[in-house]
Structure 1
Amino acid sequence: MKIYIIGSVGSGKTTLARKVARKLQVPHFETDNFVWKRNSLEDIRNEIDVRDQLLQDAVALNDWVIEGVHIDWTDPGLQAADQIIFLDIPVRRRNLRIITRYIRQIFKVEKANYKPTFTIFLRMFKWNKYFEEQMKPVFLMKFNKFNHKVHRLITEREVEEWLQQIERG
């Protein structure tokens, strides 16, 4: 099973991807980790060919869960996916999750791939707004060619119902 999960910051894509990967016992990849070489001092952007190769290596596996918000270079993953999950969670809910995540990361209850600074925290609200206004329409248009395998989930109930279907096989 190859599942590609897309959504804005705070949509729950990483949480869902981890659950699905654990249930299916398949590898889980975050597109951010294709883009960035993680470093304790500061993340360094990978070269485009490195980023693309990391994606290709993941997509070449028999089974996987890939999640992220990137769109301009991820077509190989979308094409290879058996299912594309678009977490179209309402903005207000995503903003609440951003706040909750930041608090949990500051108190070291939740792990982060990045250093959770107040600057990044504030940027997440901007990214969320940008996603809603700029990226979401592009995703929706792109999904037209993958329509047969796209699941647009808006409520937490829809997410849970989809997850139950995956668990039942």
Structure 2
Amino acid sequence: MKIYIVGSVASGKTTLAKKLSKQLAIDYFEADCIAYHQTTNGRVKRSPEEQVQEIMAIDACGEWIIEGVYRREYHCLLALSDKIIFLDTPLWVRNYRIVTRFIKQQLQLEACEYHSDIQMLQMMFKWTKDFENKRNHFETMLSTYENKLVKIKTTSIYKDLISF
């Protein structure tokens, strides 16, 4: 099984990926770790070609769950996946999660791969707004994969996991 979990910032992608990974005994990968890699000089963004190479290396290993926001570089995941899960969590829930995540990170109650500061908080709100502005285009693109698309709007995605 190859599962691509996609959605806006703070939609619940990582939480669902962890849950499905455990339930299905399939490794999951965060798309941010495909886009960026850690070096001795800090986080460095891979080129689009390098990101596709990372995806193809993961795909060559068999089953996977990859979660993340949609990027053009990840378009191949739509074709490679057996199931696409679009987490369409309400905007107010995502905004609340962005703020609570930031507070937890500042209090060192939650770890993160990126530098958590006010600029990153502002970027998360910007990315959320950008997603909402491009929503129609995104949903139209996803509709071409209707046969393998699952759209989840509820915030209680963890109670009733998708059966495969």
Shorter-chain TM-score above 0.5: yes
Contact 1:59–1:76 (Cα < 8 Å) also in 2: no
Contact 1:98–1:124 (Cα < 8 Å) also in 2: yes
Aligned to 1:140: 139
TM-score, reference length from structure 2: 0.91
Q: Counterpart of 2:111 in 1: which secondary structure?
A: coil
- Go from structure 1 to structure 2 and tell me whether the alpha carbon gap of 1:29 and 1:101 turns closer, same or farther (over 3 Å shift): same
Contact 1:86–1:151 (Cα < 8 Å) also in 2: yes
Aligned to 2:49: 49
Aligned to 1:156: 155
Unpaired segments of 5 or more residues in structure 2?
none
Deviation by residue 1:75-131 (Cα, 9 ceiling, x = unmatched) = 321112121110111111100000111111112221101111111012111111111
Contact 2:51–2:73 (Cα < 8 Å) also in 1: no
> Does structure 1 residue 61 correspond to structure 2 residue 69?
no
Aligned to 2:117: 117
Identity between Structure 1 and Structure 2 (%): 34
Deviation by residue 1:131-167 (Cα, 9 ceiling, x = unmatched) = 1112x2222111122101111111123x23551x43x
- Go from structure 1 to structure 2 and tell me whether the alpha carbon gap of 1:73 and 1:47 turns closer, same or farther (over 3 Å shift): closer
Deviation by residue 1:14-49 (Cα, 9 ceiling, x = unmatched) = 111111112222111112112112347542111222
Q: CA RMSD in A?
A: 1.7
Contact 1:3–1:85 (Cα < 8 Å) also in 2: yes
Give the AA of the match of 1:140. E
Give the AA of the match of 2:152. L
Unpaired segments of 5 or more residues in structure 1?
none
**Residues 89-104 of structure 1 correspond to what in structure 2 (within 5 A)?**
89-104=89-104
Contact 1:5–1:85 (Cα < 8 Å) also in 2: yes
Query: C-alpha separation between the residues in 1 aligned to 2:19 and 2:44?
Result: 28
TM-score, reference length from structure 1: 0.88
Query: C-alpha separation between the residues in 2 aligned to 1:120 and 1:40?
Result: 21
Aligned length: 164
